[in-house]
Structure formats: structure tokens, C-alpha cells
A and B are shown apart, each in its own frame.
Chain A
Amino acid sequence: MNGYHFYWSTVWQSFPLMLAGAWVTIQITFLAFIIGTVIAMPMAVARQKGEGWAYRVSTSWVELARNTPAVFQLFVFYFGLGAFHINIPSYAAVLISVSFNNAGYMTEIFRGGLSAIPRQQMSAARSLGMTSPQSFMHVIFPQMFKVIFLAYITQGIWGMLNSSLGMLVGLQDLTGATQYAQSVSFRTFEFFIVAAGMYYLIAKGLQFSALIAFRLMYRS
């Protein structure tokens, strides 16, 4: 090796800045997870139905979200809308684009889960007088979540990693803050090692809390 000298003290000086960025990352991850879930649930039901306008809308959404680069999706919401003089802050653009991406992937995850639940479960619920939404909420979704749980949480973490693209539109998330700090000090390697470590810890934290939630929900 030609003698790279690690120099960590600069990183610790900028650590509060990175923590603030990490907080933005956590916010966006959490919100985009919730928004993606709320959109994906009805879309999965529509996809499962296989016909009608809701099916066509959700199919187009899924196709776009899953077959175009996430960075392209972000640019559409930030620069694309900007071209029409709809200027939204980078925070909103990242939140919207990550939610959009999450919703597309989660729709397919949910749809896979739905097709694993026997059709008669729905008949049984409806026969007791439950409405269709009540049946989904109390009978279908709880069973579905058990099946898709891992894939679902993985998508949430993937959403967090996608949010790092926010740097490209000037968002001061963990990546944005790190990028800024290293551009002042030029200790690129050190900064991104620490940032990667923080991403890893957040991801593991999410996984761990999700697992606890799962245990509580299913008593297993």
C-alpha cells in the first residue's frame, strides 16, 4: 500500500452535522414506508382483481416504479416538476419519489401475499356480515403480513438506501451531510466509512424493531 493515513478527528468534529443528516434520513425512511404501505394496500387489491381502471392505474405504477432507475424517479419529481414551474423542496421531492418507489415494490409484495391466502377466507369473513374493507383489515391483511413480513421490511430498508439519492438534489440527509463535510475537509474515505456504518446501524435498528413488532403481533 502506498501509505494512506486515516485521519479521523475531522470526522468527529462534523459528527453532529452527520447526526442531523441521519435524523432526516430516518424521517424520510419512516414516512415513505408508511405512505408506500398506505398506497400499496389498495393497489395490491386492485392488482389482484385483474380488471377495471384501478387495476390499470396500479399496474402502470408498478411497471414504472420497478423498471426505471430510482434516480430517474427522483429527478422527475424534482427537476421534472420544476420544468413546469412547480417547485418543491428537495425534502418533499425525495419523500415523494421514495414513497412512489416503495409503493410500486410493496404492491407486488402484498399481491404475492394476498394470493397465498385461500379465497374461502374472504367468503367466510363476508358471510359473517363483514364489509369488504373490514374483511381485509381483520382477516386477510393480518394473515398476509405474516407471509410477506421479511420482504416488506427489506423494502423499507431499501427505501432508506434509496433516500441517499437525495444528495443529488441538495438534501441534507445522512449522505448529503456527509458529502458536504467531506467536500470541506477532503477526508472522503473516512467520512463515508462512518456514514456507511451509520446506515448499517439504522437498518439493523429497523430490522430489530420490526422483529419485535412481529413477535408482539403474532405471539410467536
Chain B
Amino acid sequence: MIEIRSVRKTFGPLEVLKGISLDVNKGELLCLIGASGSGKSTLLQCINGLEPIQGGEIIVDGVSVHDPKTNINTLRRKLGIVFQQYNAFPHLTALENVALAPRVVAKRSRSDARALAQKHLDHVGLGAKAGSLPSKLSGGQQQRLAIARALAMEPTYMLFDEVTSALDPELVGEVLETMRLLKAEGMTMVVVTHDISFARESADRVAFLHQGEVCEIGTAAEVIDRPQQPQTQKFLRRERQASLDMLERTVA
């Protein structure tokens, strides 16, 4: 379980998170939605300690993430994260990308790590691309590679930071497909997304962040179909319009 308790985060004078509290339960898929700058990506980076926080506490399975006594590298093995910009390691083949952390961090033998990597590449449908460098893969394939790389550490939680935002529209589907697969397998997931339809169909709960606070939280049906807060209603109206515009551009 991930417990987020009154977390405050500032970048200089700018307060990005203004005392956010949130729980992520085992086995659920929680979507974080909200406008750019609402703090949802920052919150995700705080959960695995990539960003320091200025107040409050984040507790993962009873361990405080930002406690200086915590071994963050051990804790991070529980928390896989996938970024918007894939961040594949360009000097390594797909297989080596996935095998690196199991070998270096989990201290598996080279052959063990490679077998594990192949298993996870197969899992995300990239088994045939094991020997390819990332530069030879499409955006969607690179993003699935990033997912396999995170999964190879056998995390308890997976964090997704706008993983489809940088993709061409026709490549979004394969990445979402992989995420649905993980959900079906019972993975606990926190997904920052602009994809409202993905949130509605896949999320167990949805949290709408507005200006560094949780404005509204509930089941997907509650938050997306019957939003109570005026900010949520306004945001969803705008998102629907944006996706309609996008559709028109794609068709035209």
C-alpha cells in the first residue's frame, strides 16, 4: 500500500503540491488526471523518491520514502516507473536494456538476467526485437521496452507518467494494451494520464488534481461521468473538446 500524507513540494517559490493526501491500495489501478501543471507528474516522481519533498510523508509498504535512513535503492525495486519520453538506454540492445538492472541491482548472473529479460520482452510483445537497438524501434515499441525494463525488477507497484503523450496516435493503442494486460494480471498501478477514455474504462479509482491539491476522488464512474466539483466539470469538458479536435485532425 502507498500512503501519501499531506505532501508538500516546492520548486523555489512555486508550490506544486499543497498538502496532498492519497492512498493507493494493493491491486488497484488509480488514475491521476488534471491539467498541465496540476502536479500529477511531480507527485509520481515523489513516490519513488526521484524528487525530494518539503513536507508530509510518503509511505510504501510501511517504509517512508524520503526518510534519510531509508535505503532508497532497495525501495525503488518495488516501484517501477515508466516515463513520457521512454528513456531507453540508447547504447544497449532491447534485451540488454531489460537485463541491466536485474544484473547490476538484483545481482543475478548474466545468463539469468538475460533469460529474465527475454521473458519480459516476450510479455510485452517485443520478443523478436531483443537484439535491436532502441533507435531501430518505434515510439510504441520503445515505450513497451521501458515497461518491460521496469517489470524485470519485479516491482509491486508500477507508476506510469503520461506514457502515451509523446506517441503518435496510431501507436497509443499497443501501449495501452500492455497496460490493460498488467492490470488483468493484478498489478497495482498509478497512472498519470490525459487519456480520459482509458481512465474511464480501466481505472478502479480516479483522482482529479487541481493546482496541487486533490480536488475530487472516487470511482471512474463518479469522477468522470458525474463530477461534483465545478473544476472537474470544466476540465473534463475541455478534455472532451480537445480529443474531438484531435479526432478531426486525424480524420482530415
Contacts and interface: CB of A to CB of B under 8 A. Distances in A.
Interface of A: 118, 120-121, 123-131, 134, 138-139, 142-143, 146, 218
B85 interface: yes
Interface string B68-88: 000001101101110101010
Contacts of A126: 50, 76
B105 A130 contact: yes
A134 B89 CA distance: 14
A146 B135 CA distance: 15
Interface residues of B, number: 25
A127 B85 contact: no
B153 A128 contact: yes
Contacts of A118: 85, 87
A124 B104 contact: no
Interface of B: 45, 48, 50, 73-74, 76-77, 79-81, 83, 85, 87, 89-91, 100-101, 104-106, 146, 149-150, 153
A129 B91 contact: no
A128 B50 CA distance: 11
A118 B86 CA distance: 12
B45 to A, nearest CB: 8
B73 A123 contact: no
A128 to B, nearest CB: 4
B87 A123 contact: yes
A131 B87 contact: no
Contact of B104 (A121, A127, A130): A130
Given A134-B104, A138-B100, A138-B104, A128 B87 contact: no
A129 B87 contact: no
Contacts of A134: 104-105
10 closest cross-chain pairs (CB), A and B: A124-B87, A128-B101, A129-B76, A129-B105, A129-B77, A127-B81, A120-B87, A129-B73, A142-B91, A143-B91
Contacts of B80: 127
27 contacts: A118-B87, A120-B85, A120-B87, A121-B87, A123-B50, A123-B83, A123-B87, A124-B146, A125-B89, A126-B76, A127-B76, A127-B150, A128-B149, A128-B150, A129-B73, A129-B74, A129-B101, A129-B105, A129-B153, A130-B104, A134-B105, A138-B100, A142-B91, A143-B89, A143-B90, A143-B91, A218-B91
Given A130-B101, A143-B91, A146-B91, A120 B83 contact: yes
B57 to A, nearest CB: 20
Contacts of A129: 73-74, 76-77, 101, 105-106, 153
A146 B89 CA distance: 13
A131 B91 contact: no
Nearest to A121: B87
Given A120-B85, A121-B89, A143-B91, A127 B105 contact: no
A149 to B, nearest CB: 13
A67 to B, nearest CB: 34
B50 A127 contact: yes
A123 B150 CA distance: 13
